[in-house]
Structure 1
């Protein structure tokens, strides 16, 4: 694996101190090659593996607690971080070749002609009903009222509402059949 330069640091002005550089170099020497092989094995992408290894090493370097651990624990932590980075990269929009666009494309919308004709047919069929039947059918299906609400609004017993709704729907079905809408 080619040696990469890690320019981020924790010293004043964003520069790495000599001690930080030595720590980072030791971290790189101890873990970069096995980590790189692991990432190449996961992805099959040698160039992309360099980026993931660099990010993993930087995260380890920025986490002093992990550097104080046993070297095998540190390596296991870095392998886990690298695996998560590979997964994140695979899920990213860039990987799926999604691109941002300035404007969202127009959605194709139907012209609404069929819906208009259906509405006209239903309106004509409703007009063929008696006023009592039409009143309960419209309240039930267009306004969404319950039997009790319709009974209160029309000032009739709930049983009468149910009866009118039953016979009103039956008459509506017949009117639509006459127009050739249903069987």
Structure 2
């Protein structure tokens, strides 16, 4: 099995993983080994080939992996600006209703889908969409009021 997997993958470590997966499948499905339709060896080699084929298909289905470039130090605003922005966002979120804040936390902070957020909050998906819309609108209005207040105090 290992020789066959190595021949297919051209990588000893990957071949060892394939053989291990094939043996795990054989262990989980012992009835497939004694069904009388062929040899155990043939079944195991077929499983090895199928695992390698699945890995190749999975690799081709996603974008190629690209090595990350070294992290470059970005010259951006100072740390104080980031802190101020965080405080502004926290303040704005605290002004929302609990229902609106919960939806935004689920969707934007936790990265949940509408369906996942609905399940977590125990509300219909349409309610998640509606609350998200109105919460974002309220945040925009707060930002507009804040910007207008800043302009007045600067003049």
Regarding TM over 0.5, the answer is no
Normalised-by-shorter TM-score class: 0.3 to 0.5
For the pair shown, which has the larger CA radius of gyration, 1 or 2? 1
Higher helix content, 1 or 2: 2
